[in-house]
Each structure stands twice: as structure tokens, then as C-alpha cells.
Chains A and B, each alone.
Chain A
Amino acid sequence: MIVTKQLKKSFGDHEVLKGIDQHIEQGEKVVVIGPSGSGKSTFLRCLNLLEEPTGGEIWFEGVNITDKHNDINRMRQKMGMVFQQFNLFPHLSVLENITLAPIKLKKTAKDAAADRAMELLKRIGLEEKASAFPNQLSGGQKQRIAIVRALAMDPDVMLFDEPTSALDPEMVGEVLELMRELANEGMTMVVVTHEMGFAREVANRVLFIDDGIVKEENSPDQFFGHPKDPRLQEFLSKVL
């Protein structure tokens, strides 16, 4: 579904990604871990071109999205993204946050978009928050609504950029629970996280990115049970 070929990204002289080749299949859950500054978030943000790669190619559903002639805005409609800082729209109510993109981009009728939004809110148990504004919500509620906002566009893949890193510890569980549900429903997911438990439980494949390259990738059992790369061994010994 997503293929990266020799993906490179530099900020000025600093080369953050040094050539990443990845195939992410439909329905796959790929968890990306690595030390801070390793380039894992940059890798994720390149997948929907929030960061413009300085080299290599990215193919999504058979289309080369790094080719300037392809309409990236159209492609992004099929790639949901969840941010560390939630990035809900503070001037809009929860319902408007969720329905804005479907109404404006997919020309969904207002009623239909609102019905779908309420359905999604009901699913996460926040239907009574529909008319609330983002700053009246807890961090966990904000992030779950941010996930639902992305889901309202019916994406084919969901990208998570450290979705629980800005949350109070007691809020982490509810967000991971929703992500776990999505995974079980077969959503294709790429998740950058520090939640090793989540990676072990949900991932089909775990990537260790360090110094701009994928140092190791494996099934969670092998990855956590028998890490081969010395840098990964060191990393795991510190975080587990």
C-alpha cells in the first residue's frame, strides 16, 4: 500500500533520513521505535508529505506521490494522521472539527456528515461532547476526537505520530484502547510510539530507526525477544 524507495530527507546540512526502503502492506500494523532525533517522526511525516523528501520516492496505492504532477491533497484524504499535540481546531466545536473535512472536501451533505460524526462519537463514548469546544476536553478526549476526525474521512491508512506522548499517564490507556480497536478492525496503521507494550501486542512488524536508517525490523516476538543490532539491544535495555 505504501512503498518508500531510498527515502531521504535533509534539513540544511543535517541529513535526517539516509535512505529508507519500506513496503507497508494493506492491513499491516507497523510500529516505528527509536531514540529521539533518530528520524522516526520525520519518516512518518514524509509518508503524507508533511515533510517534503529531499531524495527517493514514495508510492501510495500505486501512485508516486513524490511526483509533483500528482495531487497530494487528494492522496492525503486517504491518509489519516494523528499528531502528538492533537491539533484539534480550537475555534470549532467537536462536531465541526469532525465534519469540516467531509463537508468541504467530500461534499458530504451536512446532515449526513453530522450523523456519521455522532456515530463515531458514540463509539468512543463522547457523544455528549459534540457541541463542546476542544479546550473543554481532557487530553485523552482530545486525542480520541482527533483520531475520530481523521476516521471521518474514511482513510485507507492511519499515521500516528507519538499519539500518547503529550498525555497524562492515566489518559494513555483510553487512546491506546481505541487504536487497538482500529487495528483489530483491519485498519492499516503506521505508529511512531514509545509504548513498547502496544508495539508488542498490536504490531505485525516493528522497525527500529536510528541515525536515519532502519537498523532492524522484525515481528514483535523476534524484535523484543532476540534483538540483533547492538544499538537496538542497548535501546531496549534502557526502555524496557
Chain B
Amino acid sequence: MNTILDKLRGIYDSFYNAIVPEQRYTAYIEGLKITLIISLFAVLLGVAIGVVVAVIKVCGAHTRNVLMRILGKICDLYITVIRGTPLMVQLLIIYNLIFTSRDTNPILVGTVCFGINSGAYVAEIVRAGINAVDIGQMEAGRSLGFNWLQTMWYIVLPQAIKNILPALGNEFIVLVKETSVASVIAVNDLTKNAQYIGSRTWDLIPPLVIAAAIYLVIVVALSKLLGIFERRLAKGDRH
């Protein structure tokens, strides 16, 4: 009996040490802020890149316009390279090669890199979504006098986005968790700060468990949010 109480006491102490002394909880909050900032802007960048790349690829596949075909090939190359190389390697290359100056902001580098990485995956998701929209929708839009891009924007993409929302949500969730890799370029995100606290207290597990719990809360909240969004978009569906 006493041994169990001692164990519980020990666990309590180590979590207490991981949170309270030296106002260590502020490190989690600061790290969380940076994780959220990187995630948010990387998602926005990723969706922007993804939609543009997907539209160019779909257009390139249907047109005889040489310029669009070349752009389509460039987008193919981008997707192949990004999906074919590890994220951490991409992060290290961009950090060390492209942003070499001393005052490089690692948070900015992280955001750009995660955005570029996510864009490739989002592009393939969006492209599948566009191709799943009935060809008659494009024809109906064109027959009213909309040009290709207008039809894509007003008519095809809204339907495509609705169809791919679950896959897109999954990509967001993956992205939030992948930002933990940013610690390799000295970004003080949630994971990095948790490791730092662990090195101070000589007890690594409690801060990492706390970080894991925080990630879990973010992901569950994000899932709920996406669920609400999905239901609102489904208003035009069968009743």
C-alpha cells in the first residue's frame, strides 16, 4: 500500500517539477504559441499552393496551350520532389542553404517549409476533388459564358472542396503534428521546449507527456471544428 502511494507521490512530484518551478508552464505556453503560429500559416500557405498547383495541373492536362502544359510539368516536378524526400531533410536544406544569413528567423523558415511541403499533398487532394466533380458542371458553366478559370472558381472548386474536406482535415492534423520536427532548426516550439524542461529537471518523460497531451487537445479540437464545418457545407446535400 505504501509503495503504491510512494509511486503516485513520485509521479506527482515529477509532473509538479515539470510545470511549476521557475514558471516552467510559461515555456509550454510559449512553445504552444509558436507551434500554432507555424501550423496556422503553414496550412494557409499549403492550401494556397495546393489549390493553385492543382488547378494548373488540371488545366495543363486538358489544354493544348503550350505555356500551361509546361507549367503543369513544373507542378508535377514539384509534387514528385516534395513527396519523394523526407520533411526533415527539406527543412534542413532550406534552413542551411537558402536562409544562410545570421539573422534568419527560424519560425519563418519553418512556416515556409511546412507550407511548401503541405502544398504538394494538398495539391493532390484538391486535384482528385476537382476530377471527381461531374464534367457537366464545367460544361454548364462554360455554356453560360464563364471562362475556364471562372467556372473553376465559382462552380467546380466549391464542390471539390466540399468533397475533399475530410482528406484536407486529415492533412491539417498531420501538419500540426509534423511541426514538432521544426525543433531541428532551433525553433522553440512545443516539442523543443518540452525537451528543454526535461533537460533541466533530469526527468524527460513528464514534459514530453504534457506536450503529447497538448498536441492531442489541439488535434481533437481541430477535428471537431472540421466536423462542424463539414456539416455546414453539407446543407445542399440530400435530405
Interface residue ranges, A against B (CB under 8 Å): 48, 50, 73-74, 76-77, 79-81, 83, 85, 87-93, 100-101, 104-105, 133-136, 146, 149-150, 153
Contact = CB atoms under 8 A, between A and B. Distances in A.
Contact of B136 (A73, A80, A85, A136): A85
Given A83-B140, A89-B140, A133-B235, A73 B159 contact: no
A18 B199 CA distance: 81
B139 A105 contact: no
Contacts of A80: 143
B144 A76 contact: yes
Contacts of B235: 133
Contact of B142 (A50, A88, A93, A133): A50
Nearest to A135: B238
B23 to A, nearest CB: 50
6 contacts: A87-B140, A89-B159, A91-B159, A93-B236, A101-B145, A133-B235
Nearest to A74: B145
B158 interface: yes
B237 A135 contact: yes
Contacts, number: 72
Given A89-B155, A135-B236, A135-B238, A153 B136 contact: no
Contacts of B154: 100, 104
Contacts of A83: 136, 139-140, 143
A87 B136 contact: yes
B146 interface: yes
Contact of B145 (A77, A89, A93, A134): A77
**Dominant secondary structure of chain B at its interface with chain A:** helix
B139 A87 contact: yes
A91 B136 contact: no
B177 interface: no
Q: How large is the interface on B (under 10, 10 to 19, 20 to 34, 35 or more residues)?
A: 20 to 34
B162 interface: yes
A83 B141 CA distance: 12
Interface in B116-150: 134, 136-137, 139-147, 150
Contacts of A133: 235-237
Interface in B199-231: none
A105 B158 CA distance: 18
B147 A48 contact: no
B239 interface: yes
B165 to A, nearest CB: 13
Contacts of B141: 89
A236 B146 CA distance: 39
Contacts of B142: 50, 73, 76
B145 A105 contact: yes
Given A85-B136, A135-B237, A91 B158 contact: yes
B137 A79 contact: no
A169 B235 CA distance: 29
Contacts of A85: 134, 136
B147 A73 contact: yes
B143 A48 contact: yes
B146 A104 contact: yes
B143 A90 contact: no
Contacts of B144: 76-77, 100-101, 105, 149-150, 153
Nearest to A149: B144
Give 10 nearest A-B pairs by CB, closest first.
A77-B145, A87-B140, A81-B143, A87-B136, A101-B144, A133-B236, A76-B145, A73-B147, A91-B158, A105-B145
